[in-house]
A = this chain, B = another copy of it.
Amino acid sequence: MSRRALVPPEQTHDNILDVAERLFREVGYGKTTVADIAQALGMSSANVYRFFASKADIHNAIFTRTVAGLHAALRDAAGAPGSAADRLAGVIHTSHRLHRDLFTDQRRVFDMVEAAMAENWEAIEAHVAAVQAIIAGVIADGIAAGEFGPGDPDGLAAAVLDGSCAFMHPTMIAECADKPDREAHLARLLWLVIEGLRNHDRTPMP
């Protein structure tokens, strides 16, 4: 029995992700091969392929792990004390900051997300749906409390998310990395959106 066989499979699985994530960041997603990842782990490419069908598959798993941390932070913001308006603003500001930290402090991660958009579209869609569900929960609370006007929480959350694109989307984050006052601009937009959600004349969303 070789020494390597003593490592539990779930540990090898996580080790592959850790090493791949580091290589994707340091070398770039495009320039890293499955053979590079295997070599860094002292294993064969065939062994990596026992865990992941492709580099895209590895990438997808790293992406899922990263967004799980992001969703946990957003759920914390959504569950904070305060009005629905404050909690909604907290969720969007937190999401903006976490996206900004991901896409400006670690420029290589940007390549990864570009790759994800090309290769793992379902993972991105699942991520967006999860964020939208967190926002919809806060909006539903606001509607139930009479703080927001009536409406379909999911549709309203989708509109809020569409409206937040400039402060969430990786490409937009990267493009605006050098612009000052992004948080103040987001606060201004959130003021407008929250005034809209209050919807004092109680007209239904079309």
Chain A interface (Cβ < 8 Å from any Cβ of B): 117, 149, 155-156, 158-160, 162-167, 169, 171-172, 175, 185-189, 191-201, 203, 205-206
Contact = CB atoms under 8 A, between A and B. Distances in A.
A198 to B, nearest CB: 7
A188 B165 contact: no
A188 to B, nearest CB: 5
User: Chain A: interface secondary structure?
Assistant: helix
A193 B191 contact: no
Given A188-B205, A200-B201, 7 more contacts: A156-B192, A159-B185, A163-B164, A169-B172, A188-B206, A198-B201, A200-B200
Number of copies: 2
22 contacts: A117-B175, A155-B188, A156-B192, A158-B185, A159-B188, A159-B191, A163-B166, A163-B189, A163-B192, A163-B193, A165-B166, A166-B166, A169-B172, A171-B172, A171-B175, A188-B205, A191-B205, A193-B196, A195-B195, A195-B196, A195-B197, A200-B201
Contact of A193 (B187, B192, B206): B192
Contacts of A198: 195, 200-201
Contacts of A201: 195, 198, 200
A74 to B, nearest CB: 19
A117 B172 CA distance: 12
A50 to B, nearest CB: 34
Contact of A172 (B165, B186, B192, B205): B165
The 5 residue pairs across chains A and B that have the minimum distance between CB atoms: A196-B196, A200-B200, A165-B166, A195-B196, A192-B196
Contacts of A200: 198, 200-201
Nearest to A155: B188
A186 B163 CA distance: 9
Contacts of A195: 149, 195-199, 201, 203
Nearest to A203: B195
Contacts of A158: 185, 188
